[in-house]
Amino acid sequence: MNKPYSSDEPTRAEVDAFSGATVVEFGANWCGICKGAQPIIEKALSSAPTLRHLKVEDGSGRPLGRSFGIKLWPTLVFMRDGRELGRVVRPTSADQISDELARLAQPA
């Protein structure tokens, strides 16, 4: 598994203030589904090495995840300039993520 989910989460205001493309990945280090999805997430994101990718530990009472309405892990939220453009919940193929990355790369 690549880097772990961080318990040090930014605020929603900080995330909304990011410029450019960002993927926020919500999950938990102990989550088997999250661990199983890591190879396909890594494969898809390897095509965008300069993309800002935040791995945020989620759970009950975690404000960032609640502000995005996260219910299942892993969930990847694709944003540009603080605005959500798409999301993938429990990805089962790298293509699902690559499709969202392609949308993210399109001009606004």
The vertex-37 CA angle with 81 and 45, nearest 5°, equals: 40
Task: Show me where the domains of the chain are located.
Answer: 12-105
Please report the pLDDT score of residue 1 as a whole number: 43
Tokens 């690549």 correspond to 2
The encoded tokens of residue 84 equal 């959500």
Strands 52-57 and 21-27: parallel
pLDDT in single tens digits along all 108 residues of the chain = 479 999 999 999 999 999 999 999 999 999 999 999 999 999 999 999 999 999 999 999 999 999 999 999 999 999 999 999 999 999 999 999 999 999 998 887
Q: Please state which CATH number belongs to domain 12-105.
A: 3.40.30.10
The residue type found at 106 is Q
Q: What is the pLDDT of residue 19?
A: 95
Residue that the structure tokens 């960002």 belong to = 22
pLDDT of residue 107: 81
Reported pTM: 0.95
